[in-house]
Structure 1
């Protein structure tokens, strides 16, 4: 990012010290936005602190002095991950990139959006964001804080036997939480309003938003809650994650792949894992059958009653108590991209094995029975096993379970807090990434939400669709301008660029899938 036209931008963070970022400029040297990259929000998770919870910066921590300000013009450390050159890896990745609008902040400070990047919780970086156009010409004006967090084995290693005194599961989620707390405590120094924070995320970032929201409203006392509203873009709560006991099979496979003796004590196993070079860990994971490291049910960050809390109304009651609105939705053709992510071989058993890398065995059994009751590929429904995988994955991650979440909130009195959408249109810049025949597939709408790569003629279409989001982020009531009235209503950006409010044509099918996958109780089935 520093190669773009810019000039230095110093900032006094008061007791936190002095820093220097960038002011990005357009071709006529007019300012577009301010930027600060790789700003630490936690101490480095290195050496003995690998696989431990993130550590807060000490109260005495200073970023720099007036004479020697800390220079923050680069990007966050990139957590080791497949598909990225090893030279770019950096386990010291607990930093955030901060984007600030030009001009005077409104009274109380700029609204703040903490944006969590996606990547299946396995890969990704906030450095991919280029928000110059977003902050200079989109209808949304806010400070954006984009944290990096630990991914794959570094962020989601889990075991029922490792000593909890020196290790914790769900580290990626704990990293995100600490980044959120850091933002709350420090964003006023950047001109932000700490009492007006929107938590947003795309794909796995949206899945993360759900878990962060649940933690903020169900675990944290009301007076210490941080989140004021959320944007869940193309993902949802998902199925109940594996328990620590269930994920132990993956841990045993990891030890075997790395040739770490199972006869060692758990403490010694952890020590060996900490001393294993990052490249060996990443390469070992790529060889494993259970290759997806995701959130686990630890009853600390992720509670075992994830879906019961939704269906019985507990989640809704906490949401209502805090009056937190939710913007939530999908693309019409999510499955095309999902079908490309480590697809199975063309057999029933391979697809089942692929799903077992992500979900509990009991859930996978229900999935296979629901979608493939005869044990074969249904004639006329899917083009191939790869296509079937993409569509099933999209249902579990988005289409079916998002609708189940919406329904649970509606029947428990929180429907007025929901703002649903669906994207069927795609910008021309998406053609460089995905075939045109894929339509509005997963991530194709990032061009709209992040105002990135849009042609001038397309900005009017995008502005009409996301215009209300600008008011949403400010904290204004947007129900009337969003246009939806009931649980089945969706604000749709049609393929021809029109914005329409329509009834959800996938509602009944999505709810039926949910009933089979989650196994709603008799009372819930009666509601359906």
Structure 2
């Protein structure tokens, strides 16, 4: 039956009832069917608890009174947003192709949004043209997850309380993502997707999340594994998350800023903290010294031996055993955008303190000793704000990505790795032109305009360089012509050049050597953190 663009559409979810979404189109051509704000879990009974999975008999609505899913997902309350959203934000957006589904269903991309784990939502992406105008026919499911202080606050007090409920504590945002992934596995079939063919993808902090979702999945029994392949766009594993003593320090700083006495009992501290209004909590949280709320080394979601296992080959062995392919890459000028995020004052001491908002103290010491052995700015670096952007981009993307890829390749997983590099910028990108191909500038290409339009010549370039290989990858087929196989495969990178050409760039120069050097230099710090 033909359908017009932008009309309501009713979807039968079997025993779970009905939801109403809408078609999205252009010039009366239907591009996709869209369902926004689809619930995947219920909120916890208390702030910072585990979200509650939907009961097996959950119904979204009836045929005559369906669940309304034709708008945008509720976003998690977060810094720098006037509309503070809702702490009941356990929703996702779903896009599905138009037309008859193939046998077994379309492949599924479970997409995790970025934003430093502090901001963002799945409403920030628009893959309608990607699905409707290219050969990437897949179901895209993008969840909301808890962010910043709501998503990654950890402490002894919270851990003791959670233990009484036999629940994990901390890393709430990661657990939200996992619950949403389990929902996607169960519900994909109603949207025409194949829950047994899930690619987990993400950009920036979403890519970092993908790494941790992969690690968590690999350490589960194989029968509980849901991930078939992963796409990590402009981010890598970073460093070992903070240990318990350091997240406790962050927690205590927050209590002091909120005038909650540290001498209170654990129960009274948490009661006072939960009574703080959402807006006040977020506004205060970003004014403390440790203003970036990130995962902690809990030994539950984050495996205790994670980074040592990357070095000793256990991580690669698990990938090979399950045949998990991994795509990972970078933009040429990542550091320009990174250099705008909570920049330090113009001194090495301020830069060191800024890094400690994100990373374990031992890692910060290793990085500053490695990058600034004489405490001076390196040649070609304008000031300490510029220095921060560069070191932050190296840790988040350029250098530790290389160390990670090399570690996997050296321990048996080279044939599973697909690396890319982007040096091309589409005209619809609105970031400052002088930033070049900086972090997030390639979103317009991966999402075929991401709500804007690529020009005709750009469509040809992007289609050949990125989308055609992406189609093969997501469908689980070998990506012909990505790079040649061989012992140096991990250093052979599919590159989209500034002139729009595609070639294989051999990553064997100073960036490669620096990446391996930094990965190796941080190994003692990784081991120290893992022991705490």
Q: Which bracket does the TM-score occupy, shorter chain normalised?
A: over 0.9
Per the alignment, residue 489 of structure 1 pairs with 492
Query: TM-score, structure 2 length as denominator?
Result: 0.94
Q: What is the CA deviation profile of residues 359-410 of structure 1, one whole-angstrom value per residue up to 9, with x for unaligned ones? A: 11111000100011111212x2311111110110011111111111111111
CA contact (8 A) 2:147 2:173 kept: yes
Matches within 5 A, 1:23-172: 23-27=23-27, 29-45=28-44, 48-85=45-82, 87-162=83-158, 163-164=161-162, 165=164, 168-172=169-173
In the alignment, the residues of structure 1 paired with residue 157 and residue 84 of structure 2 have an alpha-carbon distance, to the nearest angstrom, of 33
Q: What is the CA deviation profile of residues 335-357 of structure 1, one whole-angstrom value per residue up to 9, with x for unaligned ones? A: 00000001000001100000010
**What displacement does 1:51 show?**
0.2
Query: TM-score, structure 1 length as denominator?
Result: 0.94
Q: What is the CA deviation profile of residues 28-86 of structure 1, one whole-angstrom value per residue up to 9, with x for unaligned ones? A: x12110000000000024xx42100111011121000111111101111111111211x
In the alignment, the residues of structure 2 paired with residue 36 and residue 80 of structure 1 have an alpha-carbon distance, to the nearest angstrom, of 22
**What displacement does 1:90 show?**
1.2
Per the alignment, residue 340 of structure 2 pairs with 340
Matches within 5 A, 1:317-466: 317-378=317-378, 380-430=379-429, 432=430, 434-452=431-449, 453=452, 454-466=454-466
**What displacement does 1:481 show?**
2.5
**What displacement does 1:513 show?**
1.9
The gaps in structure 1 that reach 5 residues or longer are: 523-528
**What displacement does 1:24 show?**
1.1
CA contact (8 A) 1:239 1:518 kept: no
Per the alignment, residue 525 of structure 1 pairs with none
2:522 match: secondary structure: helix
**What displacement does 1:456 show?**
2.1
Per the alignment, residue 192 of structure 1 pairs with 193
Residue 476 in structure 1 maps to residue 477 in structure 2? yes
- Rate the CA distance shift 1:521–1:435 in 2: closer, same or farther, 3 A: closer
Per the alignment, residue 15 of structure 2 pairs with 15
1:238 match: secondary structure: coil
**What displacement does 1:271 show?**
1.4
Runs of 4+ in 1 over 6 A off after TM superposition: none
CA contact (8 A) 1:159 1:248 kept: yes
In the alignment, the residues of structure 2 paired with residue 498 and residue 160 of structure 1 have an alpha-carbon distance, to the nearest angstrom, of 53
In the alignment, the residues of structure 1 paired with residue 368 and residue 62 of structure 2 have an alpha-carbon distance, to the nearest angstrom, of 60
Per the alignment, residue 223 of structure 2 pairs with 223
**What displacement does 1:516 show?**
1.7
CA contact (8 A) 2:234 2:329 kept: yes
Per the alignment, residue 526 of structure 1 pairs with none
- Rate the CA distance shift 1:395–1:521 in 2: closer, same or farther, 3 A: closer
**What displacement does 1:303 show?**
2.5
1:245 match: secondary structure: helix
CA contact (8 A) 1:116 1:206 kept: yes
Per the alignment, residue 513 of structure 1 pairs with 518
Moved more, 394-403 or 34-43: 394-403
**What displacement does 1:92 show?**
1.1
**What displacement does 1:517 show?**
2.4
In the alignment, the residues of structure 2 paired with residue 313 and residue 82 of structure 1 have an alpha-carbon distance, to the nearest angstrom, of 39
Residue 180 in structure 1 maps to residue 185 in structure 2? no
In the alignment, the residues of structure 1 paired with residue 78 and residue 526 of structure 2 have an alpha-carbon distance, to the nearest angstrom, of 40
In the alignment, the residues of structure 1 paired with residue 383 and residue 500 of structure 2 have an alpha-carbon distance, to the nearest angstrom, of 31
- Rate the CA distance shift 1:161–1:88 in 2: closer, same or farther, 3 A: closer
Residue 209 in structure 1 maps to residue 213 in structure 2? no
Q: What is the CA deviation profile of residues 469-499 of structure 1, one whole-angstrom value per residue up to 9, with x for unaligned ones? A: 1011111111x33124311100000011101
**What displacement does 1:521 show?**
11
Per the alignment, residue 236 of structure 1 pairs with 236
In the alignment, the residues of structure 2 paired with residue 427 and residue 240 of structure 1 have an alpha-carbon distance, to the nearest angstrom, of 35
Q: What is the CA deviation profile of residues 300-344 of structure 1, one whole-angstrom value per residue up to 9, with x for unaligned ones? A: 111232211101001011101100100111111100000000100
In the alignment, the residues of structure 2 paired with residue 31 and residue 271 of structure 1 have an alpha-carbon distance, to the nearest angstrom, of 50
CA contact (8 A) 2:157 2:270 kept: no
**What displacement does 1:518 show?**
2.6
**What displacement does 1:25 show?**
2.1
- Rate the CA distance shift 1:63–1:521 in 2: closer, same or farther, 3 A: closer
Q: How many residues align?
A: 510
2:20 match: secondary structure: strand
Matches within 5 A, 1:301-316: 301-316=301-316
In the alignment, the residues of structure 1 paired with residue 375 and residue 523 of structure 2 have an alpha-carbon distance, to the nearest angstrom, of 20
Per the alignment, residue 288 of structure 1 pairs with 288
2:41 match: secondary structure: coil
**What displacement does 1:138 show?**
2.5
- Rate the CA distance shift 1:249–1:18 in 2: closer, same or farther, 3 A: same
2:481 match: secondary structure: helix
In the alignment, the residues of structure 2 paired with residue 169 and residue 138 of structure 1 have an alpha-carbon distance, to the nearest angstrom, of 40
1:99 match: secondary structure: strand
2:187 match: secondary structure: helix
**What displacement does 1:461 show?**
0.5
